[in-house]
Structure 1
């Protein structure tokens, strides 16, 4: 019997830290490329999940699908049913700023949203969910150590992927400094706050809403390597000294 309607994993199958790719193929690739002692713990609805080890530390992966409602279901169950305490999104985003270039990383400090989900929860308040401060600082510091081009700041999450007003609908958040847009970060930060858990969203910029530039789907797995390495290092608390013990 399944533990939840969406997951066949048993309690104890997940590590306390879970990386959240949106795409099941990306989840499978991360498991095969970066983890040791890997086992698949969920295949329900194609939302592949794995648990393994990265540099000796237990890490799980769980596919979230696309959009806030899908991520919200899986994040809620991971925190409430399976005992996860840290969730790190490894996804994609579109640039909203001229200086945020393709193939760079955006580490989200906070996330606005056009979704009606939070309006149902907070009434008259415009709730402002944010990243866990410790994870945010660790990610920014480690990205510098790794030499990764990255940006740290506020982002936006939208429920609408195909919109006739591609850039104009983001005029307000762009005017107030939003760097990029995805579909899931706002929901992740909101749910983590409810459960007093830690969350961080790290996304690779795969297109630009400013100038229409786009990456090719064929290169995207290679693009994700820096993002995944950064997320894994953040997850286990890796520093330069820990990662490179032989350096003077």
Structure 2
């Protein structure tokens, strides 16, 4: 298990522009900086810490749980920087709250999907560990999110995701193969989070709201998709916050 780089004194990290003491052990990581603000609106308190490039950081509390919310941008290289720097500053438990394309015909747009593991169709994670090493979420984090969704009665799906690099390139043969194998959703960051979690020894999980589905026969308009996605996003935000509260009660950061 590789250790994160040790910091020097009161060093401010280059990309997320945070120093020791700015980051809580529990971290929610959306891709979109605007989603950071929608998440912190649901917290009991949240203090703006820093903003640089795609990285916007707030730290506060939710039901007594110390939580940092930090955006990570789109794709492997950008998110790996955020995850690494957050770990250097003491982050122990991560939940990615994101968007994804549904990959089963019976997954409506706006469905929360808990990604239990990820097909590594991108390049960044392979710098950390060989392609044969599985990208798997932490069981405690995954179970906490599923428990929240079940308790709320929210329709959801849980299963393997497809993590890829080139957003505008579709490999139709691979898409069909992965759908046949039960892949639930496609996005661009979960595999990197899970592999870095394995490499650095932190707990990770992800819940995403579907904003599209390539298999739907009747495709909604962009405006309709946005409405449906935002409905799902509200469920993913609540799921992440409530799961963090459960994990904090369990002492998930004490390892």
Counterpart residue number, 1:179: 184
3-state SS in 2 of match to 1:103: coil
Counting only pairs closer than 5 Å after superposition, residues 190-209 of structure 1 correspond to structure 2 as: 190-209=195-214
What is the Cα-based RMSD across aligned positions, in Å?
1.9
Stretch deviating more after TM superposition (170-179 or 19-28): 170-179
Match of 1:50 among 46, 58, 62: 58
Give the alignment of 1:117-196 within 5 angstroms: 117-123=124-130, 125-165=131-171, 167-196=172-201
Against the structure 1 CA distance between its residues 120 and 51, is the aligned structure 2 distance closer, same or farther, given a 3 Å change threshold?
Answer: closer
**What displacement does 1:117 show?**
2.6
1:1-248 to structure 2, matched below 5 A, reads 3-31=12-40, 33-79=41-87, 81-123=88-130, 125-165=131-171, 167-211=172-216, 213-214=219-220, 216=223, 218-219=226-227, 220-237=229-246
User: 2-side partners of 1:47 and 1:121: how far apart?
Assistant: 22
The TM-score with structure 2 as length reference comes to 0.85
The answer for the alignment partner of 1:243 in structure 2 is none
**Runs of 5+ consecutive residues of structure 1 not aligned to the other structure:** 239-248
Residue-pair matches, total:
234
Q: Separation in 2 of the partners of 1:42 and 1:181?
A: 30
Task: Could you list the structure 1 runs, at least 4 aligned residues long, displaced by more than 4 angstroms after superposition.
Answer: none
Where do 5+ consecutive residues of structure 2 fail to align? Answer: 1-9, 248-255
TM-score where L is the length of structure 1: 0.88
Aligned-partner Cα distance in 1 for 2:97–2:108? 18
